[in-house]
Homo-oligomer: A and B are copies of this chain.
Amino acid sequence: MIVVLRPDITKRAETAVLKEIRKLGYKPHVMRGVERTVVGAIGDERTHHTLEALASWPQVEQVMPVQKKYKLVSREAHKGNSVARIKGLSVGGRKFHVMAGPCSVESERQLMTSALAVKKAGATVLRGGAFKPRTSPYEFQGLGEKGLKLLAKASRETGLPVITELLSQDHAEMVAEYADILQIGTRNAQNFQLLIAAAKTGKPVLLKRGLAMKIEEWLLAGEYVLANDNPNLLFCERGIRTFETYTRNTLDLSAVPIIKQESHCPIVIDPSQGCGRADLVTAMCKGAVAMGADALLVEVHPDPSKAWSDGAQQLSLEGFGKLMKEIIPFLAAAGREPAWA
């Protein structure tokens, strides 16, 4: 920690700071500058009591942390890329994966049509929401366990593993029984109890970035998964909230190289939530592939205009087939192989 003292403070006020730093288990190191005196507090910022509260002292101008707070998810902890194992699949290696399917599971027919079509087009994981977090209590909340059973059935018939959102700690075991990857949604990205419950099922966890989550906070949320003994963590960028209203969210593709730099975990891009408009999805996917993402998570619906949720952002089956063909040359340019080839 670096503690910057205000100018013109008394010797006594300075001594009090140094004493406090020592009491909190750090070794103070004073540097007298031209306009400010700065104290370096030597010690492990993660295990010692925090010094940030010193900012409330009148003689202290600011307190700046030096260390990164995340440990297990960091690139320093693990130099290579870690690979999430999903049934027989490996996400994070040379093979590039596409997870696709409808926003919500609506009926057996809608789901099976989607599952067969996305498989045919190359998807290697089937997505579908059974529990839906909806802004309004009057919107469709998902089919619940019935939806999970349909997903399991579609999985058996197509051979595709299934990813679905976990909304409630109480459902962790139930969802883990039917699904192969547990998705933590953007609204729950800092619902730490849910993260812990998901981690403890032992199933791979895909952690979406919160709407207003800084990269550091996202990495720390991921740390909750690894710290609960679950090594199969995937980060998923799905758009952050900004002032722009043309798109529903602003897809922050810089998250791809940043996660690759800071962490060893795979990074997945969700362009459907990311822009909220089907007409931008294909371009976003090309960008994600080029920048080094490990997988895509794409919403696809047999008839988007009739979707029970988020119709505006879902691709048609035909549109998805086109997308899958169009990203092939970018995969080659990025030195990746399509998992479906």
CB-CB under 8 A for A40 and B31, given A169-B168, A224-B137: yes
Q: How many copies does the complex hold?
A: 4
Interface pick from A52-60, A90-98, A147-155: A52-60
CB-CB under 8 A for A53 and B312, given A66-B38, A214-B244: yes
Closest to A141 in B: B192
Chain B nearest Cβ from A310, distance in angstroms = 8
Residue in B33, B250, B258, B312 whose CB lies within 8 Å of A40 = B33
> A296-317 vs B: 1/0 string, CB under 8 Å?
0000000011111011111000
Chain B nearest Cβ from A255, distance in angstroms = 9
State the interface size on chain A (CB cutoff 8 A).
111
**A residues in contact (CB < 8 Å) with B:** 2, 4, 7, 20, 29, 31-36, 38, 40, 42-44, 46-47, 49-50, 52-57, 63-64, 66-67, 69-71, 76, 133-139, 167-170, 187-188, 190-194, 210-212, 214-217, 220-221, 223-224, 227, 240-247, 250-254, 256-258, 261, 274-275, 277-280, 283-284, 286-292, 304-308, 310-314, 329-330, 332-334
List the B side residues contacting A56 at CB < 8 Å. 278, 304-305, 311-314
A305 and B257 form a contact (CB under 8 A): no
Chain B nearest Cβ from A97, distance in angstroms = 18
B258 and A247 form a contact (CB under 8 A): yes
List the B side residues contacting A139 at CB < 8 Å. 50
CB-CB under 8 A for A305 and B54, given A36-B67, A40-B40, A242-B243: yes
